[in-house]
Structure 1
Amino acid sequence: MKAAGVSVRTRLRDRLAASDPGMLRMTAGLRMVGSLALTLAVLAVTGAGVTQLVAGALTAMVATFAIREKQRGAQAVTLALGLPVAFVSASLAAVLNERVAVGDVFFVVLIFCAVYARRFGDRGTGLGLIGFQVCFMSLFTGASTDGLPGIWTALAVAFGCSAVMRFAVVPVTPAGLLARLREAFRARLAQLVTAQLALLDADGDEVDEALADVRAGTARLHETALMIQTRLERGTPDASSARLVQRRIADAEVAAERLGLLLLTARSAERADTLTLHLPGAPAPEAGRMSAPDEATAALRRDLLALRTQVLHAGPGVQGTSIAHVRNRLLAYRDEESLPACSPAVQDVFRAIGEASRAVMGLRIALDGPQDESDDTPTAARSREELDAEDAAIDAGKEDEPAEESKGLQRPTTRAAVQVAVGSSLAIAGGELLSSQGWYWAVLTCWLVFINTESTGEILVKGYRRLLGTVLGVIAGIALAGLVGGHTWTAFALMLVLIFAVAYTAPLSYTLMSFFVTAMVGLLYTLLHTYSWEVLVLRVAETALGAACGVFAAFLVLPVRTDRRTNELLGTVLERLTEVTEAAVDQLSGGPAADLLDRARELDKALGELRAATQPLTHPVTPLRGRRDTARYVVALLETCAYHARSLAATAELLPTHPSIAADPRLRGAAARTVRNIATIAARAAGEDATAGIETGPSFASLLGGSGGDGASRYGRITGRVLRHLERLDEAVVGLARPLGVPLASDGRAVKAARSKDGSDTRVRRG
C-alpha cells in the first residue's frame, strides 16, 4: 500500500509538472492570490473602507504581474521604483478627474509613455504597466483628491504585500526554477514515449489519433526545451555547466523525435516523411510495412516500456539495480551484434531506443552529477566514457553581438506607442459618447490589444478574443452578482478564486483570461454598489468600441501588415537555418568547431516567433481557407527543416570526442546545393530577386560516391545518418519553393552557376 501511494503521488506530480512546466502558472496564481488576500487582510485590520479595499486588491494584482525580470535583485528594484510611479499616477488621475479635457490629454500621454517604455526592457515594461493600471484603478474606483490619503495607504500596503509574497512566501530562485523545468522535461519525455508506444499498438482508425498524440508530445517537449534554454545561464553555476545541460537537453530532444520518426517509418508502407510529425492534421502514412516477426514486435513494445521506465526513474536520488539493468539492456542496441533479427526498418527503431537511452543517461549525469558505475556493462561503460569525453570538450563559447535596432518610427515600441495613443484618443471620444462614467473600459481594451502584438492581424485576433471573453464573462458576472448579493467578504473570496484563474490561464488562452477578468469585474461593481444589468451591457459595448479603435489605429497609423511581418520573420528563420546548416556541415566536413547548439536555439526562437505571427492566418475563423492551409504547411515544413538542422548540429557536436564519428570532407560540397536553395528562397521572400530559382540534382548518396559499399564501410553508419538528414532537409527546402512561389532554375534541367566561397564556379545539373 505504501508503494502504491508513492506511485500515485509520483504520477500526479509528473502529470502536474508536464502540464505546467516549472510550475510557472501555479506560482503566478499563488503569488497573485496571496498578495491580494494579504492586502485585504492588512487593510481590513486598519479599518479601510470598501473603496480602499478594491483599490488595494487591484494594485496588488498589478504589482504582482507587472514585474517581468528573472533575477530577484532586479525584481526588487523594479518593485521599489513602481511605488512612486503608482503614487504619481494615482494622484494625477484623482486631481484631473474633474477636469475632463486636461484629464483625457494626461491619460493619452500616460498611455504613450507606458508603451514607449517597453524599449527599455522588462523594467520599462513593468513600470509602464504599473503607471497605466494604477491610473485605470483610480478612474474605476472614482478616486478624488479628498480620498487620496486612503488610496496612498492602499497602494503602499499592496506593494508591500506583493513584495512579501514574492520574496518570502512564494520565492522562485533561478536554480529552483531550472530544477522544476527539468522535471517537466523528464515528465513530458515520458509522455512522448507513452504516445509512441500507443502508435506502435494502434490499428485502423486509431492510427491518426495516436499520431496526433505523438505530434503534440513532440511539440510540448520542444516547448519545454526552449523554456530551459532561456533560464540556463541564471540557473547554473557557470557557463560550462549551462552548455553541458544545453547539450544534454538537445541530445534527448533529438533522440526522442528521431525515435518517433523511425517508429512511424517502421510501421508504414513506405518511408515516413518528417513533415508528418509537424503538420497538424496530416494523415498517418499507409500501414503495411510492419512485417517483422511477432517476437520482434513484442520486444519493441517491451523496450519502449523499459525506456519509459528509465525516463520516469531518471530523477535525483533514484537508485536501484533494476533500473541499471534496464538501462544496460537498452544501451546494448548501440552495438550491431545486439540487434534482433528483423527488418532493417525495425532494427533502426531498436538503434534509436539505444540512442535515446544514452541521451537519458547523459541528461541525468549532467543534472545530478556522477552516478554509481558498479552495475555498468561494457557497453554502458563505453557510453559513459563517450559522455565524459564530450563533457570535457565543452567550451563556454563567445557572446553574440547585439543586433542593430531600428530607429525613429520604425522602432516597434515607438510605432506601437503612436498607434495606441491614436487608438486611445478615439476610444476616449467614443467612450464618452456611450457613457461619461465607463469610457475608460474602451481605453483599457484598446491598450490591451496592443500588448505583445506586432502586426495588424495579431491585433485583430486579440481584439476578437477579448470581446468574446468579455461577452461570456458578463453572463458569468450576472450570475455571480446575484449569488453574492450584498455579502462583501463572500465577494472577495470569489474574487480570489477568479484571480487565481486569471493568472493560471493567461499563458494558455487570452479568451479564458478575459472571461475570468470580466466575471471578477462584476463582483467589483457589486462591492462598489454600482452593479446593474445596464453597467455590464455597457462594459461589452465599451470593449467592442475599444477593440475597434485599436484595430482601426493598427490598420491606418504606421501599419505593419501581417504579410510584411511574416515575410520578415520568414527571412530571419531562413537566415538562421542557413547558419546552422552551414556550420554543422562545415564541422562534419572537418572544419573548426562552432557554437552549433546556440545557433540551433536561435533558429528555434525565430521559428517560434514566426509561428506566433501566423496565428491570424491559421485562426479557425479566418475566411481565407486556402491561405490558412498554406501558412500551416509552410510552418510545418520549416519545423521539419529545423528538426534536421538540430540533428545535424547535435551530430556535429559529437565529432571531436566520439570514437565512431569521423569527418567526411565530401559533405561540404554535397550540402552546397541545399544552402544555396535556402538563400534563394530567403531572397525571394525578401523581394530581392524575383528571377532566381531553386536547384535540384542527384541524391546526396550519389554525390558522395554511393550510399553503400565502400562509402558506408569507410565512413560508417554516422555518415549515413548525416546523409539522411541532409536529404530530408533538401526535400523540405525544395517543398518550400512551391507554396512560396519559387520556381525551379532553368526549368529544372540546367541551373545557373553559383560561385563558391573560394571563388571557383560550381554547376549542378538535375539528375
Structure 2
Amino acid sequence: MPRSAFLERLHGWLAGTDPGLVRLRMASRVTLTLVFVGLSLTLLNLVQPLPVISFAIGLILALQNAIAIKDRSAVGRAQTRVLCAAAGLGVLVPIALVGQRSGLLDGFFLVVTFAAVYARKWGLRWNAAGMFAFMACFVGIYFHAAVSDLPTIALALLLCGGVAHLVREILLPDRPAFDFAQTLRAVEERIGTLVSRIRAGKRAGWPEEARRAAIAAEGQVRSAIAIAEGLLPDDASVAERQTPAAVLAIKLFDLHLATETTLAAALDTEADAASYESRLAGTLDRLAKARLQLRRSADGLDEHQLEGPGLALPTAAQTPVPWHRQPSFRLALQVTLACALAMAGGLWVSEQRWFWAVLTAFLVFVNTQSRGDALLRSVDRAIGTGVGIVVGILVATLLHGSFALPLGLIVLCVFLAFYFVQVSYGALTFFVTVALSLVYGLLGSFSPDLLVLRLKETLVGALAGMLVSFFVFPTRTENISRRGVDSFLAELDRLLETILENRRGNASSWKVLAVTRALDRRHTEIVTIVRPLESGWISAPRRKLVRLGLLRLAALAYWAHRLASTADMPRSADAQGPDAEEFDRSIARCRADIATLRSGVGHFFRHSTTPALTPTDWVSASRDLDAPDAALALHALRHILHQATADAAGGSTRSAIAP
C-alpha cells in the first residue's frame, strides 16, 4: 500500500473514532506540556540546583495547566492560569511556615480539600483554582516544603503556566474551521458505518444483534453531530442574519433528523415488503441529499465565520436552599470525609505512601453525579491499577538498565493515558501506573513490593470513596435520574410553547432550533446519568428496564425533532381556521401530559411495554411517515407521554433505578 494511501486511511480512521480530533489534540497538549516543562526544569537545574519539590510541583501542576483550565478565550485562560498559580503558592506558604507539625498539616490539608471542592460551585475557573490548590497542598505536605524552597517553587509555578500557555495558544491552538471540517469528516465516516449496518441488518432479517449495532451506530452519528454543533457560535442575533454558521446549524439539524428517520424506517419491519422497501429507499435518498447539502454549506468556511460564543446550557430559575443542603456543600463534605478516611487507612498501610490512598479518594468524586458513578470510578481505578502493576513490573524488569527506551515509553504512556481518558478511566489509570513503574525504574527505586503497595493504597482510597458515597449524603441514581427527566420534560414543554409561537409569527425558526438543541443536551445528560445502571454488575432485568426508559426518551426526542423541522414551513392562509385550532388543542394536551409527569405521576424507568417509535393507529395510517407533519409529530408525542402516565396509574411500579 502506498504511503500516502496508508496515511489517508489512518487519518480517516482517526477522524471517525475521534470527531474533531479532540482527544488527539488534548493528549498532544498534555504530553508536550509535560515534556517541555521537564526539559526546562532539567536545564534550570544545571544552572541552579533545584529541590525535588520544585520538580514535583512543576510537573504535577503542568498537568493541571494542560487539562483543568477550560476558559473559552485566550485572555480568560491566561487570567485563570495566574489565579491558579496564586492559589497553589497560597497554600504552599502556610505549609512551609508550619514545618513538620503533622497534626496541623493534616488539618490544613482537609480544610484545603473542602475549599477546593466547594469552589466548583462558582464555575470552571474556580474549579481549576481548587484543583491547583489541592494538588499543591498534596505535593507540599508529601515533599515537606520549606521556606527556603518557596522561590524555586514560585519559579516552577510560573514556568509550568507559561509553557502550558505556549503549547495551548501557539503550538496547538484551536482552529475552529479546521476542527469543524474534521468533525464533519467524522460525521461522514459514522453515517457510512450506519448505512452499512442498516444494509447488513436488512439482508440478515434484522436479528437482535443487528438492531443493537444499528442503534449504536446512530448514537455515534448523534454524538459527532453534537460535537460539530458545539463548534458553532450560539448567537441568535447573528443567526437571524443567515450567516454561514447559522446555515450550518440548520443543515446539521436536517442531517440529524434524516439519520434518525432512516434508522426508524429501517427498523420498522412490520410494514409489508413493498412499503418497507419504498420507505427505506426514500429515507436513504433524503439522507444522501442532507449530507450533500451540508458539505456544500461547509465549503469555503473560514475561521472568522465561526467566531462567537460557544453553546451554553439555558439557565433556569432555581429555588434557594439552605447552605447546608446545597449539593456543592454536601459534595465538599463527602470528599473531605473520604480523604480523611483514606488518610487514616493509608497511614496504617504505609507511613510513606499514604498519598496514593488520599489521591484515589479525591479523584473518585471527580465528574461523578451519583453513588453509582463513584462506585464504577472506584472499580475502574482499582482494576486499572492492578493490571497496570502487572504490566509495569514486566516492562520495568525487561528494560532494567536502559534509559532512552524507558523514557520514550513514559512519554508514550502519558500520551495514551490522556488520549483514552474520555473513553475509559480505567485506561487512564493503567497507562499512568505503567508510566510510574518506568519512572521508578529510571530513578533506581523500582521494586515489585512498591507497586503492590501502590495497589493496596489505591484499594484503601477506593474503599473510602465508596463508603462515603453510599452512606454520607448519598446521591441516589433514582433521584438524579428523576431530576434529569424533569429537565428534559421542561425543555420539551418549552419547545412546544416555542412551536406555538412560531406558528403565530412570534418566534423564529432559529429559536426553535436553539430550544431543540437544549432538549438534545438534556437527553444526553440523562444517558450519562443512568450509565452506571447499564454496566455488567447490574442484573439483566434491571438493565432491560433502563433500556426501555431510554428508548422512550429517545422516541420523544425523535418526534420533537420531527415537530421542530416543521417550524420553517410556510403557514397557510387559513392559519386561524379549524386546523389551527385543533393544532393548538393538541399542543395544550401534550403540555398537560408533561405537567402531569413533572408533578410526580409516572416514571420513565418503570416496567412497561416497549414504546413504538412510529405510530400505528389510524391517525398515521394515511400519512407519509417521513414527510414533515406537525400533526403526526404531536400525535406521536402525546401517545408516548400518555403511555408514561398510564403506566403509573394502572401498571407496574417496579423501577429500574436502584433505591
- Using the size of structure 1 for normalisation, the TM-score is 0.73
- Residue of structure 2 aligned with 1:620, choices 528, 533, 536: 536
In the TM superposition, residue 65 of structure 1 has moved relative to its aligned partner by 1.0
Partner of 1:338: none
- d(CA) in 2 for partners of 1:237, 1:489: 56
Partner of 1:212: 212
Q: Match of 2:279, as an amino acid?
A: D
Partner of 2:249: 246
Long gaps (5+) in structure 2: 302-310, 604-614, 652-659
- Specify whether residues 531 and 741 from structure 1 end up closer, same or farther in structure 2 by C-alpha distance, changes over 3 A only: farther
Structure 1 vs Structure 2 CA RMSD:
3.5
- d(CA) in 2 for partners of 1:149, 1:743: 71
Long gaps (5+) in structure 1: 272-288, 291-342, 371-396, 688-698, 745-767
Check if 1:603 corresponds to 2:543.
Answer: no
In the TM superposition, residue 98 of structure 1 has moved relative to its aligned partner by 1.9
Tell me the secondary structure at the aligned position of residue 263 of structure 2: helix
Deviation digits for residues 531-561 of structure 1 (CA, Å, limit 9, x no counterpart): 3333222222222221222222223333322
Tell me the secondary structure at the aligned position of residue 403 of structure 1: coil
- d(CA) in 2 for partners of 1:519, 1:231: 35
State the identity %. 27
Deviation digits for residues 163-189 of structure 1 (CA, Å, limit 9, x no counterpart): 221111111134443333233223322
Check if 1:539 corresponds to 2:454.
Answer: yes
- d(CA) in 2 for partners of 1:144, 1:486: 34
- d(CA) in 1 for partners of 2:312, 2:147: 56
In the TM superposition, residue 499 of structure 1 has moved relative to its aligned partner by 0.8
Moved more, 91-100 or 218-227: 91-100
- Specify whether residues 109 and 81 from structure 1 end up closer, same or farther in structure 2 by C-alpha distance, changes over 3 A only: same
Deviation digits for residues 605-627 of structure 1 (CA, Å, limit 9, x no counterpart): 112111111122222112x4433
In the TM superposition, residue 239 of structure 1 has moved relative to its aligned partner by 3.7
Q: Match of 1:262, as an amino acid?
A: A
- d(CA) in 2 for partners of 1:553, 1:743: 38
Check if 1:263 corresponds to 2:275.
Answer: no
In the TM superposition, residue 645 of structure 1 has moved relative to its aligned partner by 0.8
User: How do 1:575-654 and structure 2 match up within 5 A?
Assistant: 575-584=490-499, 587=502, 593=508, 595-622=511-538, 624-654=539-569
Query: Does the 8 Å CA contact 2:566/2:629 hold for their aligned counterparts?
Result: no
- Specify whether residues 401 and 108 from structure 1 end up closer, same or farther in structure 2 by C-alpha distance, changes over 3 A only: closer
Deviation digits for residues 441-464 of structure 1 (CA, Å, limit 9, x no counterpart): 111111111111122222122112
User: How do 1:361-380 and structure 2 match up within 5 A?
Assistant: 361-368=292-299
In the TM superposition, residue 198 of structure 1 has moved relative to its aligned partner by 2.8
Deviation digits for residues 351-388 of structure 1 (CA, Å, limit 9, x no counterpart): 32342233224323432269xxxxxxxxxxxxxxxxxx
In the TM superposition, residue 406 of structure 1 has moved relative to its aligned partner by 4.8
Partner of 2:306: none
Check if 1:101 corresponds to 2:103.
Answer: yes
- d(CA) in 2 for partners of 1:207, 1:493: 47
Check if 1:351 corresponds to 2:285.
Answer: no
User: How do 1:300-699 and structure 2 match up within 5 A?
Assistant: 343-368=274-299, 402-404=316-318, 406-407=320-321, 408-487=323-402, 489-584=404-499, 587=502, 593=508, 595-622=511-538, 624-655=539-570, 664-665=579-580, 666-670=582-586, 672-684=588-600
- Residue of structure 1 aligned with 2:192, choices 171, 190, 202: 190
- d(CA) in 2 for partners of 1:531, 1:460: 30
In the TM superposition, residue 476 of structure 1 has moved relative to its aligned partner by 2.1
Moved more, 414-423 or 490-499: 490-499
- d(CA) in 1 for partners of 2:93, 2:438: 25
Partner of 2:641: 733
In the TM superposition, residue 26 of structure 1 has moved relative to its aligned partner by 0.4
- Specify whether residues 5 and 236 from structure 1 end up closer, same or farther in structure 2 by C-alpha distance, changes over 3 A only: farther
Moved more, 141-150 or 630-639: 141-150
- d(CA) in 1 for partners of 2:513, 2:107: 50
Q: Match of 1:345, as an amino acid?
A: Y
- Specify whether residues 483 and 134 from structure 1 end up closer, same or farther in structure 2 by C-alpha distance, changes over 3 A only: farther
Tell me the secondary structure at the aligned position of residue 351 of structure 2: coil
Tell me the secondary structure at the aligned position of residue 45 of structure 1: helix
- d(CA) in 2 for partners of 1:86, 1:26: 28
Partner of 1:230: 230
Q: Match of 2:213, as an amino acid?
A: D
Q: Match of 1:344, as an amino acid?
A: S
Partner of 1:743: 650
- d(CA) in 2 for partners of 1:477, 1:163: 32
In the TM superposition, residue 66 of structure 1 has moved relative to its aligned partner by 1.4
In the TM superposition, residue 19 of structure 1 has moved relative to its aligned partner by 0.5
Query: Does the 8 Å CA contact 1:18/1:187 hold for their aligned counterparts?
Result: yes
Query: Does the 8 Å CA contact 2:520/2:557 hold for their aligned counterparts?
Result: yes
Tell me the secondary structure at the aligned position of residue 216 of structure 1: helix
In the TM superposition, residue 566 of structure 1 has moved relative to its aligned partner by 1.2
Query: Does the 8 Å CA contact 1:177/1:235 hold for their aligned counterparts?
Result: no
- d(CA) in 2 for partners of 1:237, 1:69: 23
Deviation digits for residues 74-103 of structure 1 (CA, Å, limit 9, x no counterpart): 112212322233333344445546221111
Moved more, 517-526 or 603-612: 517-526
- d(CA) in 1 for partners of 2:128, 2:462: 23
Query: Does the 8 Å CA contact 1:567/1:686 hold for their aligned counterparts?
Result: no
- d(CA) in 1 for partners of 2:341, 2:516: 44
Query: Does the 8 Å CA contact 1:481/1:526 hold for their aligned counterparts?
Result: yes
- d(CA) in 2 for partners of 1:500, 1:236: 39
Tell me the secondary structure at the aligned position of residue 232 of structure 1: coil
Partner of 1:203: 204
- d(CA) in 2 for partners of 1:447, 1:21: 30
Partner of 1:43: 41
- d(CA) in 2 for partners of 1:598, 1:491: 50
**Number of aligned residue pairs:** 619
Q: Match of 1:474, as an amino acid?
A: I
- Specify whether residues 251 and 97 from structure 1 end up closer, same or farther in structure 2 by C-alpha distance, changes over 3 A only: farther
In the TM superposition, residue 25 of structure 1 has moved relative to its aligned partner by 0.6
Query: Does the 8 Å CA contact 2:261/2:626 hold for their aligned counterparts?
Result: no
- Residue of structure 2 aligned with 1:75, choices 74, 77, 85: 77
- d(CA) in 2 for partners of 1:570, 1:30: 37
Query: Does the 8 Å CA contact 1:115/1:413 hold for their aligned counterparts?
Result: yes
Query: Does the 8 Å CA contact 1:707/1:720 hold for their aligned counterparts?
Result: no
- d(CA) in 1 for partners of 2:553, 2:294: 27
Tell me the secondary structure at the aligned position of residue 277 of structure 2: helix
Q: Match of 1:518, as an amino acid?
A: T
Q: Match of 1:233, as an amino acid?
A: P
Tell me the secondary structure at the aligned position of residue 123 of structure 2: helix
- d(CA) in 2 for partners of 1:82, 1:629: 45
